[in-house]
Amino acid sequence: MTETIKLAVNGTLMRGLELNPNLLNVDATFEREAKTEAAYRIWSIDDKYPAMIKVSSGGVAVAVEVWQVPLAGLGIILSQEPPGLAIGKVFLDDGEEVLGVIGEPLTVEGKKEITEFGGWRAYQEAS
């Protein structure tokens, strides 16, 4: 059996979106929809993808998808992510800690904050 690790995604890696094939191509499997704990803010990077950052105050619960990713595929997925995104620890609202796609602080400088939408899909639907 292939060893896997949980990965929370909050943007274009989600089901049906532009970079979702990057997950499918390494045989990742969708586990569930979830929300982060209310400690994150999210920005639109030129309306191409989001960047989520953990904050000390003023955060919200962000909609994410949790995927089971084969360990061998994690590096491949990260190498295909847009600049300014990285893998870090993400805390879900049920108390679970998983790896997740997070933004680097410099990436969001001067970009449109979309925290009020609670997630990338909701922002895209409202745009």
DSSP H helix total and E strand total for the chain: 4, 8
Segment 19-51, tens digit of pLDDT: 999 999 999 999 999 999 999 999 999 999 999
- DSSP helix/strand/coil, 23: helix
Instruction: Please give the structure tokens belonging to residue 124.
Output: 């895209």
- DSSP helix/strand/coil, 62: coil
Identify the sign of the CA torsion 22, 28, 32, 35. Answer: negative
Segment 98-122, tens digit of pLDDT: 999 999 999 999 999 999 999 999 9
Domains detected in the chain: 4-122 (3.10.490.10)
User: What does the pLDDT read at residue 19?
Assistant: 97
